[in-house]
Amino acid sequence: ILYNFPARTGYDLRPELVYELVKRYPNIIGLKDTVGDMGHTRAMIQKVKKDFPEFRIYSGFDEFFGHNALSGGDGCIAACAPAREKLTS
């Protein structure tokens, strides 16, 4: 699974790049897209899942979970889930 987090890495995995990587390397099965603009993730879904519907695209921010699913993505890999578990335990 690719992890796109430009705020931490200084580099953005654009939809065109991800498409080419998925086409070339079938062992890449998904992407966690941790960006502050849901339009980026929606563009990723539209570009990659059209030809690779089994490719999984997740949001990295919890608040984009619903938008991701409604846009044809696969949900969210929640960063806050472990913290919530500790708070309720």
> What's the maximum distance between 2 C-alpha atoms anywhere in the chain?
44
What's the CA gap between 68 and 89, in Å, rounded? 29
- Given the residues 23, 25, 32, 49, the one annotated as active site: 32
Q: Between vectors from CA 40 to CA 15 and to CA 10, what angle results, nearest 5°?
A: 80
Instruction: Write out the H or E segment, with its range, that includes residue 25.
Output: none
Is 32 labeled as catalytic in the residue annotation?
A: yes
- Positions annotated as catalytic residues are 3, 32
